[in-house]
Structure 1
Amino acid sequence: MGCECSKLTACCWSTDQNKSIPEARDAENEEKSEVDDLPLFCEYSIDALRMATSGFSVENIVSEHGEKAPNVVYKGKLENQKQIAVKKFNRSAWPDARQFLEEAKAVGQLRNNRLANLLGCCCEGEERLLVAEFMPNDTLAKHLFHWETQPMQWAMRLRVALHIAQALEYCTSKGRALYHDLNAYRIVFDDEANPRLSCFGLMKNSRDGKSYSTNLAFTPPEYLRTGRVTSESVIYGFGTLLLDLISGKHIPPSHAVDLIRDRNIQMLTDSCLEGQFSNNDGTELVRLASRCLEYEPRERPNSKSLVAALIPLQRDSEVPSHVLMGIQNPSAALPLSPLGEACLRMDLTAVHEILEKIGYKDDEGAATELSFQMWTNQMQETLNSKKKGDAAFRHKDFRAAIECYTQFIDVGTMVSPTVYARRSLSYLISDMPQEAINDAMQAQVISPVWHIAFYLQAAALSALGKDNEAQATLRDGSMLESKRNGTA
């Protein structure tokens, strides 16, 4: 296999309750300047992660396999508005909390701009969760196999290959050479659409779990023999990733090798790439994939030589990734609705008018727990508190509105995101921004994709002087509103 490929021709933030864990500093860390803004690895409480993910809401699941998968990934947002990805293991995984913490802590000491870095974990009771940076622009699998607007360009595919090789080289240099089940679902894209390697693959799915969860046709031959992952096995996985990039399909390595040996490279190359690369560039990438897929592990290249081989192949290096990917510039302003504009200007009078006009229509579908209590005097008093709060809100008596809405909320029989939103605005107008943001986040817990909850958080963050966080949250609200209105 190896000898023939040389003859190929044309082809292809944390809360106060979280405990920081001291991190060993490396004085010679070349990546320091790139990741200075990341916090130290820490332990999160299950309550903090439950709040961040709106109670592990189904709407916040971002992993492809959904809520029935043994390990589910959720998107979330911490109290400081930092977006996170939370991987929740099933209860049978990692029974030894100490072992889980030690493994997570080791991975959490890595900090590199080629990784979706691990920020912390939770091992409270039987819970085992990992917390990482959230990457908002989907996985390589989505962009490569299930694209909707445009196929991934050749220059971007080369960039993906280089960035992931650099991530593997960094991990190897830090003593974490083993990566479990390297595949297109493990590659994620950050807010600038730059490819990163998910840190989740640096840990097994469980203490005694398998290292591979994908089809065995894509696993290295030595894993099938021994059940163990070695650094050479990771290179084999990188080879299958190169095949994905070349073909735009998930081709079993054995089939791809047959095509290469038969010099049937056209069958291997993505037809969408026609005219985007030279014969030499295509030949070199296929040759590199072939070397990674060698049957004998010792004949495969290491991560350092992968980087060296991929650097000369890079094209359009000056073009930002979001341009190559056809993704909107993250710094570009989104068109804002009247409510978004009012929050941006901090025009609280306008916000009040809009919330009053909208009323309670967005409460449809919110969880309510009404029973026979509804007909009791206590329940009638609760409903009267809400009515009085609404009347005070309408007449701009915000102190009275806060008091009445608090009486309604404290009973806890009915759950209303609109009541939290109205009390949030009342707090904001009463110069109580921290209370305002707390209520806006509660509204989001009840309705995870409700744009108004995000807009009110943005206004409260502005009042607290957190302008960058406010802008990011305002964008989140605008995107949710666009999706809701079918204009995304």
Structure 2
Amino acid sequence: MGVRFSKFPLCWWPSSIKSNLHDMSDIDDGNKNEKDHLPGFTEYSLDQLRSTTSGFSPDNIVSEHGEKAPNVVYKGVLEDDRWIAVKRFNKSAWPDSRQFLEEARAVGQLRNERLANLIGCCCEGEERLLVAEFMPNETLSKHLFHWETQPMKWAMRLRVALYLAQALDFCSSKGRALYHDLNAYRILFDQDGNPRLSCFGLMKNSRDGASYSTNLAFTPPEYLRTGRITPESVIYSFGTLLLDLLSGKHIPPSHALDLIRSKNFLPLIDSCLEGHFSNDDGTELVRLASRCLQYEPRERPNAKSLVTALTPLQKETWVPSYVLMGIPDGSASSNQSLSLTPFGEACFRRDFTAIHEILEKLGYKDDEDVANELSFQMWTNQIQETLTSKKHGDSAFRAKDFSTAIDRYTQFIDAGTMVSPTVYARRCFCYLMNQMPQEALGDAMQAQSVSPTWPTAFYLQAAALFSLGMDNDAQESLKDGTTLETRENRN
């Protein structure tokens, strides 16, 4: 776990310490950073996909070009209530069915939280369809160029740039460095408002389509010369996206470079952002864009160096994406599909009375597997005093005198003669009742460190994270606790 047995500093950040729950999962998707375990790549029948999309109904089209798009994307819902996006290609696309299946299976092996992952395909007769995770919150193009209520915040624009760079870096590390027609339509937002790169652009180009459907003014110079894209071409397109994020407009790269050379940055900056970011940040993003847009491909940075450059620029990292985007919290709807246990439900609702009752009922039965090797010297000199501290803490906890309970449990913990996950859990709850959620979170993590598969530790982490306003992380802890308790009950 990497957690030291000491008091947590107030600046301790929970996202830097991940549980090992997913490593124990029965399903290994090959990517430890992927939050949601997706099913394996599936070859669907045409009838299945026709059913999920209501017969490829026009009402289910989510392509921004609608029915006029050469390859239409539909939303659909599978029998297990999972929403999907189905891309249906033009009849003349992918004449070689074997090539299509090989490409789809290869892209389908990728799993990353920065991608809208490919989870299946269909190849029947002349039909060629791809199935991906459905992203319910529109495209970057919609939020950046066609906003209705408020422009995208600067912190969110920086987050989009970083997450996109991370997606490209991941794909490069897996041997899929080529991405076709990278543009603002290819960046989608998931239920939590996090930007993800569409997996559709990772498919090698089919016979009938051009690699760049956008205006030729935005295509890499080498593509105009050779008609082929390279990993460096993808970086060029990333540079055009940085210009989009800076300006809120689709500025041709040649014009932007002229402005940069003349040090006339003002036309490159979205006027809606005035006063909302530092000149240093703006200058750094302009510098990165100009590096990506170099005429010679070898002079452009790679994806990994972009991640390195963009990471220090991130602002408001503690604010969930859905808050920055001004969209509803997707975790609330995801909770509806998560069947919570009574303990999980109490933590979700922050029903502290119920949590207290559950902790009282649990007692110390979950401490039985924790080894406490004590020498005879400890037994004779210290153990009685230590046990007395715990006993007084338990009495105060039962009487709901939470300040006294904190003091007594702290004496027990600081003595260092015994380790008890239950004491950490109880002190965690006391901290919550005393409006000290950061300290509570530290104790919940300590309880998990002592007993890594204890559901109570995860549930209390969720309660603390909810109190800190970190709802997305709290939802993940709820899921982990529920999974562990279900597994425990099954065993």
Calculate the TM-score normalised by the size of structure 2.
0.61
1:329 Cα deviation after fit:
1.4
1:331 Cα deviation after fit:
3.5
Residue 148 (str. 1) matches residue 148 (str. 2): yes
Between the aligned partners of 1:180 and 1:301, the Cα distance in structure 2 is 18
Do the aligned partners of residues 35 and 323 (structure 1) sit closer, same or farther apart at CA in structure 2, a change above 3 Å counting?
closer
Q: Which residue of 2 aligns with 1:258?
A: 258
Between the aligned partners of 1:313 and 1:320, the Cα distance in structure 2 is 17
TM superposition outliers: structure 1 runs of 4+ over 4 Å: 26-29
**Which secondary structure state, in structure 2, belongs to the residue aligned with residue 94 of structure 1?**
coil
Pick which of 81-90 and 35-44 moved more: 35-44
Q: Deviations over 1:4-54 (max 9, x none)?
A: xxxxxxxxxxxxxxxxxxxxxx9995x325245201111000000000000
Calculate the TM-score normalised by the size of structure 1.
0.62
**Considering only aligned residues, what root-mean-square deviation do their CA atoms show, in Å?**
1.9
Q: Deviations over 1:57-101 (max 9, x none)?
A: 001111111112210000110111100000000110001111100
Q: Is the 8 A contact 1:71 1:205 kept in 2?
A: no
Q: Is the 8 A contact 1:93 1:205 kept in 2?
A: no
Q: Which residue of 1 aligns with 2:192?
A: 192
Residue 225 (str. 1) matches residue 189 (str. 2): no
Between the aligned partners of 1:329 and 1:159, the Cα distance in structure 2 is 18
Q: Which residue of 2 aligns with 1:125?
A: 125
Q: Is the 8 A contact 2:218 2:253 kept in 1?
A: yes
**Which secondary structure state, in structure 1, belongs to the residue aligned with residue 105 of structure 2?**
helix
**Which secondary structure state, in structure 1, belongs to the residue aligned with residue 121 of structure 2?**
strand
Do the aligned partners of residues 333 and 202 (structure 1) sit closer, same or farther apart at CA in structure 2, a change above 3 Å counting?
closer
**Which secondary structure state, in structure 2, belongs to the residue aligned with residue 188 of structure 1?**
strand
Between the aligned partners of 2:331 and 2:105, the Cα distance in structure 1 is 33
Q: Is the 8 A contact 1:246 1:269 kept in 2?
A: yes
Q: Is the 8 A contact 2:140 2:187 kept in 1?
A: yes
1:209 Cα deviation after fit:
2.8
Q: Which residue of 2 aligns with 1:320?
A: 320
Q: Which residue of 2 aligns with 1:452?
A: none
**Structure 2 residues not aligned, in runs of 5+:** 1-26, 335-478, 480-491
1:205 Cα deviation after fit:
5.0
Partner AA of 2:183 in structure 1: N
Partner AA of 2:163 in structure 1: H
Q: Which residue of 2 aligns with 1:90?
A: 90
Q: Percent identity?
A: 78
Between the aligned partners of 1:302 and 1:47, the Cα distance in structure 2 is 43
Between the aligned partners of 1:173 and 1:144, the Cα distance in structure 2 is 29
Q: Which residue of 2 aligns with 1:165?
A: 165
Q: Is the 8 A contact 2:92 2:208 kept in 1?
A: no
Between the aligned partners of 1:134 and 1:28, the Cα distance in structure 2 is 18
Between the aligned partners of 2:75 and 2:258, the Cα distance in structure 1 is 41
Q: Which residue of 2 aligns with 1:288?
A: 288
Q: Which residue of 2 aligns with 1:413?
A: none
Partner AA of 2:80 in structure 1: N
Between the aligned partners of 1:35 and 1:316, the Cα distance in structure 2 is 22
Between the aligned partners of 1:313 and 1:49, the Cα distance in structure 2 is 42
Q: Where does 1:237-248 land on structure 2 (aligned, <5 Å)?
A: 237-248=237-248
**Structure 1 residues not aligned, in runs of 5+:** 1-25, 335-467, 469-488
Q: Which residue of 2 aligns with 1:203?
A: 203
1:206 Cα deviation after fit:
1.8
**Which secondary structure state, in structure 2, belongs to the residue aligned with residue 170 of structure 1?**
helix
Q: Where does 1:97-108 land on structure 2 (aligned, <5 Å)?
A: 97-108=97-108
Q: Where does 1:289-438 land on structure 2 (aligned, <5 Å)?
A: 289-332=289-332
Q: Deviations over 1:239-297 (max 9, x none)?
A: 00000000000111011111111111111100011111111111000000000000000
1:207 Cα deviation after fit:
3.4
Q: Is the 8 A contact 1:73 1:86 kept in 2?
A: yes
Between the aligned partners of 1:33 and 1:239, the Cα distance in structure 2 is 26
Between the aligned partners of 1:256 and 1:105, the Cα distance in structure 2 is 39
1:125 Cα deviation after fit:
1.1
Between the aligned partners of 1:295 and 1:173, the Cα distance in structure 2 is 25
Partner AA of 1:62 in structure 2: V
Partner AA of 2:102 in structure 1: E
**Which secondary structure state, in structure 1, belongs to the residue aligned with residue 234 of structure 2?**
helix
**Which secondary structure state, in structure 2, belongs to the residue aligned with residue 298 of structure 1?**
helix
Do the aligned partners of residues 273 and 147 (structure 1) sit closer, same or farther apart at CA in structure 2, a change above 3 Å counting?
same
Do the aligned partners of residues 167 and 33 (structure 1) sit closer, same or farther apart at CA in structure 2, a change above 3 Å counting?
closer
Do the aligned partners of residues 215 and 323 (structure 1) sit closer, same or farther apart at CA in structure 2, a change above 3 Å counting?
same
1:332 Cα deviation after fit:
4.2
Between the aligned partners of 1:149 and 1:116, the Cα distance in structure 2 is 26
Partner AA of 1:113 in structure 2: E
Do the aligned partners of residues 333 and 68 (structure 1) sit closer, same or farther apart at CA in structure 2, a change above 3 Å counting?
closer
Between the aligned partners of 1:129 and 1:34, the Cα distance in structure 2 is 24
1:160 Cα deviation after fit:
0.1
**Which secondary structure state, in structure 1, belongs to the residue aligned with residue 80 of structure 2?**
coil
Q: Which residue of 1 aligns with 2:112?
A: 112
Q: Deviations over 1:287-344 (max 9, x none)?
A: 000000000000000000000000000000000000000001123479xxxxxxxxxx
Q: Which residue of 1 aligns with 2:396?
A: none
Q: Is the 8 A contact 2:192 2:331 kept in 1?
A: no
Between the aligned partners of 1:161 and 1:95, the Cα distance in structure 2 is 36
Partner AA of 1:168 in structure 2: L
Residue 50 (str. 1) matches residue 50 (str. 2): yes
Residue 64 (str. 1) matches residue 29 (str. 2): no
Structure scoring higher RCO (CA < 8 A, sep ≥ 6) equals 1
**Which secondary structure state, in structure 2, belongs to the residue aligned with residue 184 of structure 1?**
coil
**Which secondary structure state, in structure 2, belongs to the residue aligned with residue 196 of structure 1?**
strand
**Which secondary structure state, in structure 2, belongs to the residue aligned with residue 331 of structure 1?**
helix
1:127 Cα deviation after fit:
0.5
Q: Is the 8 A contact 1:181 1:213 kept in 2?
A: yes
Q: Is the 8 A contact 1:78 1:84 kept in 2?
A: yes
